[in-house]
Structure 1
Amino acid sequence: MKKSLIALAFGTLGLGIAEFVMMGILPDVAKDLGISIPVAGHFISAYALGVCVGAPALILARKHPLKHILLALVALIMVGNICAAMAPNYWVLLLARFISGLPHGAYFGVASIVAEKLADKGKGSEAVSIMIAGMTIANLFGVPLGTSLSNSISWRVTFLLVGCWGVIILYYIWRWVPHVEGLKDTGFKGQFRFLKTPAPWLILGATALGNGGVFCWYSYINPLLTDVSGFSAGSITGLMVLAGFGMVVGNLVSGRLSDRYTPGKVGTTVQAMICIVLLLIFFLSPYPWLSALLMCLCTAGLFAVSSPEQVLIIRVAKGGEMLGAACVQVAFNLGNAIGAYVGGLAISGGYRYPALAGVPFAMLGFILFLVFYKKYQAKY
């Protein structure tokens, strides 16, 4: 495995902890700041909205070397998370989470392009999946560690840990990632030209709706597992490891299958599976081990669609690859924000209902993926 891809994965590892750890520490944050769990869910949405603002701003840096852009984004990751660790109240933490989200989509956008350029021939999807693997490993080890630190010491230590990890990311990107030839500058307007065709909108729509469906449920996974499935609070760390294991396997298997069967076919199939699993979670979550198994399957599906989406958007965004690669992360996190909000509304019926609320979103995501596969996959 190339060291350069490992360095890129270190960055997504930090981003993964920053984004997903909030689900595991939500009750601790809510208790410390004196707010309800649904209100604490706003911190998930704030991060996602930061992604939506930061990613399009990437086009302003399109003339700079890709490696330099990556280093600047990592510095912003450090600032946002250290501010979150020091936040004295709800509003400051909300702002810090927004700042933490600003570099997220931009980093994925640039890192995806760098990964594809560094990949061996015919291994583009697998290279992107290795880059994304950092985020899945964050859910396997980083998020459980952050949850454990929150329970035993303070949730602030978790964000401080991410800020310090940024120093390591900076060093290894500087050391291991070679100079990569920049993209051809098509001008400001040229960056948006690819959006005139239906193909990218189908991918972006499938990403937003598909992930929105999953995050209706996953944003409130902690109280679902304890209040509905009957797991103890002490077992949540182990369950988060299981969820992270599903993400790691789903992402890496998807990357290989996408190179073999096309990203569109893999993405469509996985999105259909997510619809079924969310429905099963609603009905079967009161049964502890079935709930744990379905959680693992759904998180595997969440990241099994990520590599196909990231690869496809680069291929359909000719002349605006950097913006396209960042936009798919905007769609991903816009879906997260909408999902967290809708899931919070559904909680009034009980902690099982966010999963049910996610089914229509996931189904619409599947339909859009299917349309793309039938009409456009052969061209890319």
Structure 2
Amino acid sequence: MMHVPVRIGVIGCGNIFSRYATGMSRFPGLELVAVADADPTRAKAAAAEADAAACTVEGLLGREDIDVVVNITPPTAHATVSEQVLAVGKHLYVEKPLADMTAAARAALAEADRQGLRFGAAPDTFLGSAGQTARAAIDSGAIGEPVGATAFVTHSQAEAWHPDPTFLFRPGGGPALDMGPYYVTALVNCLGPVSTVYGTSRIGAPQRTVTAANRLVDRIDVAVPTHTAATVTFASGVLATVMMSFDVWDHHLPFIEIYGTEGALSLPNPNHYDGPVLLRRHGDLQWTELPPVVPPLARPGSDDQLLRGIGVADLAAALRDARPHRATAGLAFHVLEALEAIAVSADSGAPVQLTSTCERPEPVDGVYGAASLDTLETHP
């Protein structure tokens, strides 16, 4: 059955715009109508790339032909722009983190609830075949009762490829807010909400040298912790050891492993949607790769794993089918509070109990969010 596409506007035309524009183009149920940026030149370039209209932010928010706004501005602007979008009565999907601090996110959450608007948030990578396969394995009892987990966020080496990674080393950045949402969201998808955290942190190198060929800056003075270690306790009783670092360049660490009374799971990079999920039950001589419970969207290891849009497509389908969407702002808020609490704990030297909780998102049924979604065009 063919459906009228949900019309999308994007605010923010920076480094990840192409990942969203190309990623959303894979979903026939989405139509990118207009883009906006504080820099008009950047907005025009993005509009030409996506065959969309270039607008000011105010102009985009005033358009009646936009159903959902995707907010991919810098993290420190997320909350302000989100409030602007919701104030004009439009549904919203925001890039991670939900905001640079929980206090800034609360007003947007309240406004969405007041108006009955859909509010989605990245990361959505747990909706991919890897996150869904791991979730299904745990729910089926493949490793028995989950007891513990490990997660290791290692350096993305942004200084070597990003033209200006300054924001990563300023308030609102750091490894916890930059990459931590992928890992903690993946754990919450598998294990449920977090109850308590205890963390320590430090700055590694106080100054970073940018070596990207197209760099706009040469050096960055570091203003946030770049190496964090934490113990994360889940409401279920599972204990996780989490390291988040911009100082670990080389290693033999896994991404995420979950340990149960009858076996263990090894998960691939949670920044990607797809990849091998490995199971080793007690007594097995080797790890076994589990068959994916939903089809991979793109070849594991390919650049297409960095394309975005599944969460937007799931929100759009949920709007059309009058069902809950999965990558919710409530989930993102809980993850943000967990990451913020780790920083608070590191400063205070004491454990921090979270005030929020969340439901585990419903497992994916069909192809990336709903059987009612039109067939996806995958990039092999």
TM over 0.5: no
The structure with the greater share of residues assigned to helix is: 1
Higher relative contact order (CA 8 A, sep 6+): 1
The structure with the greater share of residues assigned to strand is: 2
Larger Rg: 2
* TM-score normalised per structure 1: 0.29
